[in-house]
Amino acid sequence: MTTTESMFPDRSDFDYDYDTLRTTGVILAVIMFVSGILIALSKKFTKCVKSSSNSSSSGTQIPKTEVPPQTV
């Protein structure tokens, strides 16, 4: 009868480097967090800049339509 130990040899030669794994994970998390905030803020600021530059650079303005008040 074979045991589990004889079927799967011991692989103790391979050890995880948990400190490097943890450090790399924290660094990647910080990079992704900061890049996400930068992307969100850049879309917010480019939206404001584009809307103000379009109205000032073009000579024609888009006419505003009035919405009638709603009756209850």
Taking only the tens place, the pLDDT of each residue in 47-65 is 655 555 555 555 566 777 8
- Could you tell me the residue range of the domain that residue 44 belongs to? 17-48
The pTM (predicted TM-score) of the whole model is 0.45
Q: Is residue 41 part of a domain?
A: yes
Q: What is the DSSP letter of 13?
A: T
What domain count does the chain have? 1
In a domain? residue 24 = yes
Contacts of residue 61, defined as CB under 8 A and 6 or more positions apart, other chains included, come to: 55
> Residue 9 domain-assigned?
no
In a domain, 8, yes or no: no
31 domain-assigned:
yes
Helix spans in the chain (H): 4-7, 18-57
pLDDT of the residue at 26: 98
- Tell me: pLDDT of 45 over 80: no
CA atoms within 13 A on the CB side of 19: 0
Tell whether 62 is covered by a domain. Answer: no
In this structure, is residue 64 part of a structural domain? no
Task: Examine residue 38 and state whether it is found in any structural domain, yes or no.
Answer: yes
